Structure 1
């Protein structure tokens, strides 16, 4: 069985039961004028993971393994936006308001689309989710169980919010998850560091972490 020399111990996975998850690599979170920018975040801190995720996507595609893309966004009528979420952080531009890339975090608007480097290709699953957790009010769980996927390589933004929320919730449902350290970023580097440590603490209570080079090398050797 293939394995990655991960933390806190090697991550073994069945090649036919594995998928790459790319969380919220959207313009609203990664580019000027999006939701993250309206909150005053330093979006430059996100940039390093974009080419890393592109490299991982290429490796998974070459190996013929599934890739799942998520995007956090809401219906145009905003019926799935809790008031507490719309008001969070006191942003300059709230969810649903008009911004430089269309209505903020609204499905179908330019800002909710993916950055070009990490965009899905035909045949790859795209999940529009109304919250931080990819398993909340989506078909993510059904997709994984139907295809007998048990092991997830997780990437995306941000480490301390949607990424770790998805990883924790997937772990609760029985999936083995490894977070690719250089394939995820936060607007706050110290939050990323603490999150990585927390996930693997207590003998990997939530899961594993590894480097992208280890993943690419492993897949290339199969």
Structure 2
């Protein structure tokens, strides 16, 4: 039997030698979880699940970040912090990959179109993507800057996965899909901000690509008006996946362990 392993993920490996190439992937034992989702329940395999934590960054969730600078009350965007502080260690203990999906633009902005820049700086004379914040000088949502970093309360673990995105959807122009395929993931848990914008766009694209999508209602939020959140929850449940509760998931995992 070949002894050498090729593959960065324990779920997607070949075993090779000079004489044999064994392409059979390692067998996985299913770990079923059943959660309440509105009027019924949904069952999924934890063994093939990952969580995407989207845009829990200083620019969106810190009072001195970008949204705070332009006068947005970031208090709603901080709502997912406490439930994620509780849930993420439990998911890590269950060997569920934690993926931080954040804006992380190039310093030269060469991957940002005028149309995208216009969304956040419509008159061209404000503080938009890549521009320095007046207080800290950190460039807005630029990879490596304080502005783009995850808020201190949610410091990623060394074994977590980081993926930069450059659009509202984390699947557009990124390596996210390749990473998920390599991890053998079919079910995605969604958390973060803003639920009606980047979270929703990423969830829709995941659905279009065939992933099973579960939105963690108590781990997602928005600074938009309440009707935007309500419409998002309705449309996710109606068209793109399931709306579930992180507290219920955490309780099940703790009971199982």
Compute the TM-score of the two structures, normalised by the length of structure 2.
0.81
Aligned residue in 2 for 1:12? 43
Aligned residue in 1 for 2:158? 122
2:230 is matched with which residue: 193, 199, 219?
193
Aligned residue in 2 for 1:213? 247
Correspondence 1:1-222 to 2 at 5 A: 1-90=32-121, 92-99=126-133, 100-101=135-136, 102-188=138-224, 189-201=226-238, 205-222=239-256
Kindly indicate whether the alpha-carbon contact (under 8 Å) linking 1:39 and 1:90 is maintained by their aligned counterparts in 2: no
Residue-by-residue CA offset, 1:34-91 (whole Å, 9 max, x unaligned): 2222443221111211111121112101212110001112101111111122222447
Note the C-alpha offset of 1:8. Answer: 5.0
What do you get for the CA RMSD once the two structures are aligned? 1.5
Residue-by-residue CA offset, 1:78-134 (whole Å, 9 max, x unaligned): 111111222224474111111134011111111100001222111211001111111
Residue-by-residue CA offset, 1:195-219 (whole Å, 9 max, x unaligned): 1011112xxx200011121110121
User: Where does structure 2 lack aligned partners over 5 or more consecutive residues?
Assistant: 1-31
Compute the TM-score of the two structures, normalised by the length of structure 1.
0.93
User: Where does structure 1 lack aligned partners over 5 or more consecutive residues?
Assistant: none
Aligned residue in 1 for 2:22? none
Higher Cα Rg: structure 1 or 2?
2
Following the alignment from structure 1 to structure 2, what is the Cα–Cα distance between the partners of residues 20 and 97? 30
How many residues matched? Answer: 219
Following the alignment from structure 1 to structure 2, what is the Cα–Cα distance between the partners of residues 139 and 128? 9
